[in-house]
Amino acid sequence: MLKRKWRLLLLATLPLVFSLNACAGQSGGSSGSRLDTIKSRGKVICGVSGQLPGFSYVKPNGEYAGLDVDVCRAIAAALFDDPKKVEFRNLNAKERFTAVQTGEVDILSRNTTWTISRDTSVGLEFAPVVFYDGQGIMVKKSSNIKKLEDLKGKSICTQTGTTNEQNLSDQMRQRGIEYKPLVFEDVNTTFTTYQQGRCEAVTSDRSQLVSRRTTLPKPDEHLVFDVVLSKEPLAPAVANGDSKWFDVVKWTVFALINAEELGVNSQNVSQLASSPNPEVKRLLGTEGDLGKGIGLTNDFVSRIIKHVGNYGEVYERNLGKNSELKLDRGPNKLWNKGGILYAPPFR
């Protein structure tokens, strides 16, 4: 039994222990959230790849563009009514998680697959999936390689610190196919090595293969053959333990999806502010206090849609029919249009 004196001392120090923990982990209680830091800094620091057309890359005019870029622009629109209030930092696959853990970036929006270890031991918190992908393999058409078995004894290029490296090894071991992995840290080296024929195949998320194919000298000479090695749900992520900031990221993504479902887009958003539909009113903040509830303005969704568009617009502009990649929406269609995109209600 503890003596009364010690029990009292223990009780007195408990709040101190908890408040210290809260600071270390940016608990996101009433104070100490990264959201407040971002608001006073006046911009969002967003970790991206910067090397991947359609997701995040730098256009010839020096501007960043892509789906992952637009997620950060949507957050900046929600916070500052200005999608340009973002500083982008390029991160390779290996350094991306440290950048979130150390707080160098506020958010990682970089074709990153949501997995249990990243969500737990790596210390990330994943926002909703923005692109459902799967791993594929690209080869030269002239190689006549059309299935995994054809890769027996061949060398395959891949990237350090990715799910792709591990999935390839699992799948080949399961099928008893021997191959030579060539693993690189820099994505440009991976694809140059492949292009120079020093590996017969390159593996990555299928969307990335299609994206990087556009950067090869003769894209038509390459084929992403018909195999899907894994599930690669790509989602933005923030550091664990700050629910206030996490909520803003999470509901920004849900806002993009719900706006598409309700037919709210960049062209009609100002008109729809006077819509009689109660769901649209709540979404756009002309009724209720949903924005204030997460530390934003009530019209935060109007701001997002006005500047960035809804999910469908973002998709078509960067990856779909209005882009160079022309990726079919596939599973990235809304749940009521044959896909699996589903956002909880604004209520």
Ligand X SMILES: N[C@@H](CCC(=O)N[C@@H](CS)C(=O)NCC(=O)O)C(=O)O
Q: Which residues bind ligand X (CB under 6 A)?
A: 49, 51-52, 92-93, 110-113, 159, 162-164, 187, 190, 204-205, 208, 232, 234
Minimum CB separation of residue 47 from ligand X in Å reads 11
- For ligand X, the closer CB: 56 or 302: 56
Say if CB 215 and CB 53 are below 8 A apart.
yes
Nearest to 308 by CA among 107, 128, 67: 67
Say how many C-beta atoms besides its own lie within 10 A of residue 29's C-beta: 12
Residue 294 has which token pair?
């997460």
- For ligand X, the closer CB: 77 or 249: 249
Q: Which residues, 6+ apart, have CB-to-CB distance to 276 below 8 Å? A: none
End-to-end C-alpha distance for the chain, whole angstroms: 50
- For ligand X, the closer CB: 118 or 303: 118
3-class DSSP state of 345: coil
Minimum CB separation of residue 4 from ligand X in Å reads 54
Minimum CB separation of residue 305 from ligand X in Å reads 27
Which secondary-structure segment (H or E) carries 68? helix 67-80
Minimum CB separation of residue 61 from ligand X in Å reads 20
- For ligand X, the closer CB: 130 or 301: 130
Q: Which residues, 6+ apart, have CB-to-CB distance to 228 below 8 Å? A: 134, 135, 136, 206
- Residue nearest ligand X (C-beta atom): 49
Minimum CB separation of residue 163 from ligand X in Å reads 4
- For ligand X, the closer CB: 162 or 258: 162
Minimum CB separation of residue 139 from ligand X in Å reads 15
- For ligand X, the closer CB: 153 or 197: 197
E strands, the chain, in order: 44-48, 51-52, 56-58, 64-65, 86-90, 107-108, 124-126, 131-133, 135-140, 155-159, 180-184, 201-205, 222-224, 232-234, 237-239
